[in-house]
Amino acid sequence: MVYIPSDVNKAVRRKLERRRYSDKTVKSYLYWINRFLKWSKKELRYVSKKDVSAFLQKLQNKNLAGNTMNTALMSLKFLFEDVMERRMWINIKYSKVPKKIQRSLSKQEVNQLIKNVNNPQHKLMVALMYSAGLRVSELINLKVEDLFIEKGYGFVRNGKGKKDRIFVISEKLKIPLKQICLQKKKEDFIFISNRKNKYTIRSLQQIVKKTAKKAKIEKWEEVHPHTLRHSFATHLIEQGDSVSDVQAMLGHKSPETSLEYIHKSGKMLNIKSPFDYL
């Protein structure tokens, strides 16, 4: 029997969160589901496969990217098949736009970028993003209790995929990190703005881009926080670290058994941050 939720948004969100989908995916799915319902002007019980196909065709006529079309399709399939337990049998696969190869900076450019950050806290944040390969969202959510500075590592809590992962702390950053952490409680965020608020992703993006321009880095407009993460991975490979180590450090394939072993023993992976070689 088909289940008709009284509150579609609440039902979809609950199911997505139970399956540990990211906040970004939840927001995206809800957007397309609500856009479809607004377009169809029908109660859920009366929506047909033909309605879904017509909606997707309308989107396709607007020449939307393949990735966007696939997200819209998967959102509606999730609503009908996973939430309502109703088989729609919509088996369409839109072609994806080829991904552009991500840019990485040279070690000289990274050094140049960091040197041109005037604000001491901003400088530390940019250096930590690069030296540990952190996503900007992971950086701004770091808490004092997540760092084991003397042992040379820290933990990203509830990162992408809602998983914890370990990251290396550069020897060069131990003293400034200690100094900033001594002023806070263990449950406090490490980096707080002058207004006593947690930094936003947007604010860090602006800091990195403005500094890249100031540092006169070629094609500075293409430099953003994720460029530092990509540069971290590239430089690890260049200095001889294995692909599997790099993948683990980036959180793409971080084995839980290794995570537990490192946490319990206090030992760090046999890997050094490229920041120590600048």
Q: Catalytic positions, please?
A: 135, 160, 226, 229, 252, 261
* Backbone CA torsion sign across 228, 229, 232, 234: negative
DSSP secondary structure code for residue 194 in this structure: T
Distance CA 195, CA 180 (A): 17
Distance CA 146, CA 166 (A): 10
Phi then psi for residue 84, to 5 deg, are -85, -10
- Tell me the pairing of strands 147-148 and 153-156: antiparallel
Phi then psi for residue 148, to 5 deg, are -120, 75
Give the N- to C-terminal CA distance of the chain in Å, as an integer. Answer: 63
Instruction: Show the tokens assigned to 43.
Output: 């109660």
Vertex 155, ends 152 and 157: CA angle to 5°? 170
